Amino acid sequence: MFSSRASSGCQMLRRSLISTRARSYGSSSGGASTKLHPNQMAVGVTTAAIAAGYAYYKQIELPTMDVVSCSAKDEIKSGSREFFGEYWPRNIIILFGPPGSGKGTHGPNMEEMLGIPQLSTGDMLRAAVTAKSPVGMKAKAVMAAGGLVSDEIVVGIIKERIAQPDCKLGFILDGFPRTLAQADALNKMLAEDGGCVSKVLELNVPDEVLEERICGRWIHKKSGRSYHVKFAPPKTMEKASDGNPIASSMKDDLTGEPLMQRPDDTAAALIKRLNGYHSETVPILGHYAPNGIVKKINANQGMKEVWSQILDSLGKN
């Protein structure tokens, strides 16, 4: 007689196999369908079966994950008594999109849902600037002007961060990679552990919409909570006679602490940031597209609608 957890393990095994197969045959809800080679399908099904079987055997909950597109066969050691996360390919998601497209808004929700951390190179660099560390001193002026910090610096930061234990089952990259050189460096880092990027969520918003989003943005530095004078004002916001918000009234809803505007959230810096995005960052999509892992999201709509498309592309709806 199975215990209820054991029988739920059985159901998980079935669900996992069924959904894995459905996805392997190219049912992708968020955009172009993903056609996998029969070998990849076999690996996906085998991977799910082994992991689900092991979860059933150990009576542990499976983390909800979509199938990764790289071969993870060598990483899977069936029958191992080690925690199966060691052998399940990491869920590595890139949140891709121009500044103001909603990466910082939806990233934390994904983080909570998937149980893997969101890694924002922008946040890490801002923390370095605040701490006046050598990296921060080098990055400060470039960032304020809306330019790109050197590949060497950001690759170094990411390499160190993804080696932390909380990244063991995967992570969500926000703002990285931003150049082809960074994408190559990421591939190499992941390949060292037999991994690869599992999904790229491409948030699309027309450039003309971004200026209003960026220039009205206020941030609670400590938590990263984001507000907007028009779309999501803090409760305390007061306006001067010219219609602009009074800076001293801009406070975080939860802590009452002052909000700030990023030095690079200006119309002038945005022009440079968008130029960099189109010329250096967008070409990265061509790097991942052949694997069928790029999912297009229309991020120029309400937050609920965008979130629903994100869920679709992660196979959660």
Binding region for ligand AMP (CB under 6 A): 99, 121-122, 125, 142-143, 146-149, 154, 175-176, 178, 182, 264, 273
In the set 140, 199, 217, 251, the catalytic residue is 217
Instruction: Establish whether 272 is a catalytic residue.
Output: no
Which of 53/177 has CB closer to ligand AMP? 177
Instruction: Establish whether 23 is a catalytic residue.
Output: no
In the set 126, 199, 225, 273, the catalytic residue is 273
Least Å distance between CB 28 and ligand AMP?
Answer: 27
Instruction: Establish whether 273 is a catalytic residue.
Output: yes
**Please, is 39 exposed, middle or buried when counting C-beta atoms within 10 Å of its C-beta (0-12, 13-18, 19+)?**
exposed
Least Å distance between CB 96 and ligand AMP?
Answer: 11
Which of 55/186 has CB closer to ligand AMP? 186
Instruction: Establish whether 5 is a catalytic residue.
Output: no
In the set 23, 90, 103, 225, the catalytic residue is 103
Least Å distance between CB 258 and ligand AMP?
Answer: 20
* Interatomic CA distance for residues 276 and 103, integer angstroms: 17
Least Å distance between CB 168 and ligand AMP?
Answer: 22
Least Å distance between CB 174 and ligand AMP?
Answer: 7
Tell me the three state secondary structure of residue 52.
helix
The DSSP element (H or E) to which 173 belongs, if any, is strand 170-174
Instruction: Establish whether 77 is a catalytic residue.
Output: no
Cβ distance 299 to 100 under 8 Å?
Answer: no
Which of 12/270 has CB closer to ligand AMP? 270
**Please, is 5 exposed, middle or buried when counting C-beta atoms within 10 Å of its C-beta (0-12, 13-18, 19+)?**
exposed
DSSP assignment of 248-298 equals GG-B-TTT-PBPB--TT-SHHHHHHHHHHIIIIITTHHHHHGGGT-EEEEE
Which of 15/228 has CB closer to ligand AMP? 228
Tell me the three state secondary structure of residue 90.
coil
What the block records as the tokens of 187 is 């591939």
The DSSP element (H or E) to which 228 belongs, if any, is strand 226-228
Which of 47/182 has CB closer to ligand AMP? 182
Q: Which residues pair with 172 in a beta bridge?
A: 93, 118
Q: For 175, left (φ over 0), alpha (ψ -120 to 50), or beta? A: left
Closest residue to ligand AMP, judged by C-beta, is 122
Residue with tokens 């029988």: 7
Least Å distance between CB 43 and ligand AMP?
Answer: 30
In the set 178, 199, 225, 295, the catalytic residue is 178
Q: What is the DSSP letter of 236?
A: T
Which of 42/215 has CB closer to ligand AMP? 215
In the set 15, 21, 159, 262, the catalytic residue is 262
Residues known to be catalytic: 103, 178, 217, 262, 273
